[in-house]
């Protein structure tokens, strides 16, 4: 159990660090992006965009881009928050509790909804990034690939695990009450 607690503390703080880094890098990507596709800071959703369509963004485009990518970012942050809570519970020795199952369930739903939101976010972001381009150089892109499908499968598996864990916890609670 000591090994689980130590690893859980490490993972809790690692996920907390990622949770803090997500908005920092997302907003830095938008507000520090100068139109160069080889730049260090570039919004995640523009990485797949053909560099011929990229140009320096106006302040309005940067704000709109950050707003357009916010729902996906918030879902990712929520998922990591659930992991922080989960490993916090594990570090306290709480393994099969209703709170653990809830963390798994909420993280799975956030991941699943995030994959549904992703194509819409990508569409909005590509429009915002190219809306000031000349006619003929504007772009709207939508994409859904095997990584999105894989994440949906993973989310469904995690959701099923949360249900199994919750049922197991209920059975354990009933067994403890039986004389």
pTM of the model: 0.85
- Residue-wise pLDDT tens for the chain (179 aa)? 889 999 999 999 999 999 999 999 899 888 887 766 666 566 666 666 667 777 788 999 999 999 999 999 999 999 999 999 999 999 999 988 899 999 999 999 999 999 999 999 989 988 998 888 888 888 888 888 888 899 999 999 999 999 999 998 888 878 877 76
CA distances from 116 to 11, 42, 87, 122, 158 (A): 27, 23, 26, 11, 16
Cβ-count burial of 121 within 10 angstroms (0-12 exposed, 13-18 middle, 19+ buried)? buried
User: For residues 81 and 83, what is the distance between their CA atoms, to the nearest angstrom?
Assistant: 5
**So where are the chain's domains?**
1-177
How far apart, in whole angstroms, are the C-alpha atoms of residue 160 and residue 109?
A: 11
């Amino acid at each position: 159990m000591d090994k689980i607690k130590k690893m859980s503390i490490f993972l809790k703080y690692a996920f907390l660090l990622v949770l803090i880094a997500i908005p920092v890098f997302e907003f830095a990507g938008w507000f520090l992006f100068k139109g160069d596709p080889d730049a260090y800071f570039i919004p995640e959703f523009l990485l797949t965009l053909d560099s011929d369509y990229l140009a320096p963004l106006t302040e309005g485009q940067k704000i709109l881009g950050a707003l357009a990518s916010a729902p996906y970012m918030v879902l990712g942050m929520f998922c990591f928050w659930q992991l922080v809570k989960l490993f916090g519970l594990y570090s306290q020795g709480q393994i099969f509790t209703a709170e653990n199952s809830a963390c798994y369930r909420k993280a799975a739903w956030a991941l699943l909804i995030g994959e549904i939101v992703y194509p819409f976010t990508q569409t909005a972001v590509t429009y915002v990034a190219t809306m000031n381009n000349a006619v003929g150089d504007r772009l709207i892109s939508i994409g859904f690939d095997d990584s999105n499908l894989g994440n949906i499968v993973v989310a469904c598996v995690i959701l099923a695990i949360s249900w199994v864990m919750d049922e197991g916890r209920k059975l354990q609670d009933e067994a403890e009450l039986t004389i």
